[in-house]
C-alpha cells in the first residue's frame, strides 16, 4: 500500500474533513464516519489535497492528456491537481464546465483549455454518478475521450444494487476510477491509531453490512 493513502486519511482526520460518530447518508443509512471534501477550504489544505491527487494519479499509471473539473467542486480540484502535477514534472492543461452556457464573450459551456485527447475527470467522491455521467457526455460531445475519474475517497459501499457507485461508473462507462484512498485504507489507519481505534469496530461492521469487494 503506497504510504500516501494512509497519509491522506491522517490528513483528512486532522483537517476534520473525516469525522467519526453517527451520520445519516443520502441512502438513509447510519454511517459511523463522514467525509466532507468541501472542508478543504483554505490555501494550505487545498495545496496538500492537490498533491495527494497528483500522487494517486501518477501512481495509477493511467494515460491522460488533460484534466476536467465538473462544476462546482471539481473546478478547484482540477486546477489544484494541475498545479500539483506540474510540480511533479507533468504539465497538463485543464478545463471546467459552466452550469449554464455563456451567450456572450467567448461563449460555450467550458472554461479553460480545449477539450481534446484523453480527459481525466477530477471530482471529490462518486455518489450517484450523476456528475460523472454529465461530464462524460460533455467530453464526448466535444470529440474528446473520457479516460478515467480521480476521486478523493472511495467508500466501497453498495448503491441500489450489488455494485458500489464507483463500480457502476466503471461498468457503465468502461473507464477506471482512481481514488486517493478507500474505506479499506481507513480501516487500516484506524487499526494503528490508539486515539481512534474505538471507531474501528463500528466502521468494520458498516463495511461488512454495506460494503463491496474491490475489483
Active site residues: 102, 104
C-alpha cell at 201: 469496530
Q: Is the dihedral of CA 57, 215, 68, 4 positive or negative?
A: negative
CB 93 within 8 A of CB 118: no
The alpha carbon of 116 is separated from its chain's Cα centroid by a whole number of angstroms, namely 22
Unique residue bearing C-alpha cell 469496530? 201
CB 124 within 8 A of CB 152: yes
Amino acid at each position: 500500500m503506497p504510504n500516501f493513502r494512509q497519509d491522506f486519511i491522517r490528513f483528512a482526520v486532522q483537517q476534520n474533513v473525516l469525522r467519526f460518530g453517527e451520520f445519516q447518508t443520502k441512502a438513509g443509512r447510519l454511517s459511523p464516519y463522514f467525509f466532507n471534501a468541501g472542508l478543504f477550504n483554505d490555501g494550505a489544505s487545498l495545496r496538500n489535497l492537490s498533491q495527494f491527487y497528483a500522487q494517486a494519479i501518477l501512481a495509477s499509471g493511467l494515460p491522460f492528456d488533460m484534466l476536467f473539473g465538473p462544476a462546482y467542486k471539481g473546478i478547484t480540484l482540477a486546477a489544484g491537481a494541475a498545479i500539483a502535477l506540474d510540480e511533479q514534472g507533468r504539465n497538463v492543461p485543464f478545463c471546467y464546465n459552466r452550469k449554464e452556457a455563456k451567450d456572450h464573450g467567448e461563449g460555450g459551456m467550458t472554461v479553460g483549455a480545449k477539450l481534446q485527447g484523453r480527459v481525466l475527470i477530477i471530482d471529490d467522491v462518486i455518489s450517484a454518478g450523476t456528475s460523472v455521467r454529465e461530464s462524460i457526455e460533455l467530453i464526448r460531445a466535444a470529440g474528446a475521450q473520457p479516460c478515467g475519474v480521480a476521486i478523493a475517497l472511495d467508500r466501497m459501499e453498495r448503491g441500489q444494487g450489488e455494485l458500489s457507485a464507483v463500480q457502476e461508473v466503471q461498468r457503465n462507462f468502461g473507464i477506471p476510477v482512481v481514488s486517493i484512498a478507500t474505506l479499506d485504507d481507513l480501516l487500516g489507519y484506524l487499526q494503528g491509531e490508539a486515539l481512534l481505534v474505538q471507531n474501528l469496530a463500528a466502521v468494520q461492521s458498516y463495511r461488512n453490512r454495506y460494503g463491496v469487494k474491490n475489483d
